[in-house]
Amino acid sequence: MKNRFLVSLLFVLLLAVVVAGSFVSSKLWTPKVKKIEPVKSIVINDSMTIGQIGAVNHLNKKILKSVFGIKDEKGFKEKFVNVGIPKEVAINRIKVKMALMAENKTKNWTKIKIKFILWILVLLTMFFLLRSGRVRRNNRKLIYLGVVILFGVILGSEPGPMGTIKDSIVLFGEYKTLFLPRLISLLIMLLLVVLANKFICSWGCQFGTLQDLIFRLNEDNKGKPVFKRFKVPFAVSNSIRVIFFIIFTVIALNWAFDIISPINPFKIFSPALFGIVGIVFVAFILVLSLFVYRPWCHFFCPFGLIGWLFEKISIFKIKVNYDKCIACGLCEKSCPSNAMKAILRGKKIIPDCFSCGSCIESCPTKAITFSAGIRKSPPKGKFDKLDNR
């Protein structure tokens, strides 16, 4: 009973620190524009000059030059009818340019640069710690707490891995365009997934690590769960995630509506943006994190799904040396998900592995490593006794 009370107390205190700290921090990182305003209707008549189009629609010269190919001041006096661009094309170009400029104004580029630099430094540190087997139960919690505070509370909800995919799909659905800096961020994060198995999710994602930390609060001093934990079959969790991704994408591309925005869990690091629906949903996800490992990542996250696909070609990943393995099953038991069970048995379909290092820590013969190369299949019958227990 005392342990349950302590876990509950730590859970509440953690969330209080995250929310209160994020509220203060978000005020300090004040963006230029809080949100992207929808593009208003564009007024263009054949008799209007380019300059008049700009004045009526409140467009700056930079947009006009880009849309109409103006090279000098004389171009602003040219009538639209003489430009040779269909009205619908011109209107669409203007809306796209305005949307991209609005996107740019919402970004605090200083914060973003700092965040990416720190991401690289933290991930490099974790790479060497995991490679050397020095990620242990106690320091793992401290690392997760540090990542949550640094990348979430201090540096805010954006950028984050999920937004690189989610916001790209929504923007494309509305304006049929992509925001280049976001696309570059997505490519960098996917590269990190390929270089080291889902590392950006494992040790860099502010909400992913918050879920991981909450899951590990539900342990006693010996690492045993205080409240009962559940390992949801991957076929169930991934099916839900695929269906959710399809629904989100179809709605975003056809109706330009972001169904994730109201429930976006990353807003916990910008709590002033939350509505009542978001508060209720994220509270549910965070409570569920005590019992189920990274529920948002496994059931809903768009980047989690895409990252899982790229995870298949990761260079560095969890591997098993079957010559050293004694088939004790401790690694499988210590794994917070079903990933190690599939890896150990050489299954073709492996659930998301977040490279937490629990399996490496638990192995008594050091048969499990975080290393490069192709995973080998286990000898036939290697785990028959384990499976028959």
Query: 197: which 2 tokens?
Result: 């198995």
Domain boundaries, the chain: 2-31+107-308, 50-105, 316-387
Do residues 270 and 22 lie in contact, with contact meaning Cβ atoms separated by under 8 Å?
yes
- C-alpha angle 352/355/359, rounded to 5°? 100
pLDDT tens digits along 142-200 = 999 999 999 999 999 889 999 999 999 999 999 999 999 999 999 999 999 999 999 99
**Predicted pLDDT at 33:** 45
CA 189 to chain CA mean position, Å: 9
Pick from 219, 203, 108, 225: nearest CA to 156: 108
H-state helical runs in 58-198? 61-68, 87-105, 109-131, 137-147, 161-175, 180-195
Three-class secondary structure of residue 158 per DSSP: coil
CA torsion angle for 32, 33, 36, 42 (degrees, to 10)? -90
Measured from the Cβ of residue 389, the count of other Cβ atoms closer than 10 Å reads 5
Distance between CA atoms of 337 and 354, rounded to whole angstroms?
Answer: 9
Partners of residue 320 on adjacent β-strands? 368
Task: Write out 61-82 in H/E/C secondary structure.
Answer: HHHHHHHHCCCCHHHHHCEHHH
- Give me the amino acid identity at 275: G
User: What's domain 316-387's architecture?
Assistant: 2-Layer Sandwich (3.30)
Pick from 103, 120, 90: nearest CA to 33: 103
Distance between CA atoms of 350 and 260, rounded to whole angstroms?
Answer: 26
DSSP string, 293-314: SSHHHHHT-HHHHHHHHHGGG-
Distance between CA atoms of 202 and 229, rounded to whole angstroms?
Answer: 20
Do residues 360 and 129 lie in contact, with contact meaning Cβ atoms separated by under 8 Å?
no
Pick from 213, 214, 235: nearest CA to 284: 214
Measured from the Cβ of residue 310, the count of other Cβ atoms closer than 10 Å reads 17
Query: 148: which 2 tokens?
Result: 């949550």
pLDDT tens over the chain, length 389 residues: 569 999 999 999 999 999 999 999 988 876 544 444 555 688 888 888 888 888 888 888 888 888 888 888 888 888 888 888 888 888 888 888 888 888 888 888 999 999 999 999 999 999 999 999 999 998 999 999 999 999 999 999 889 999 999 999 999 999 999 999 999 999 999 999 999 999 999 999 999 999 999 999 999 988 899 999 999 999 999 999 999 999 999 999 999 899 999 999 999 999 988 899 999 999 999 999 999 999 999 999 999 999 999 999 999 999 999 999 999 999 999 999 999 999 999 999 999 999 999 999 999 999 999 999 999 999 998 988 888 77
pLDDT tens digits along 298-316 = 999 999 999 999 999 999 9
Partners of residue 219 on adjacent β-strands? 225
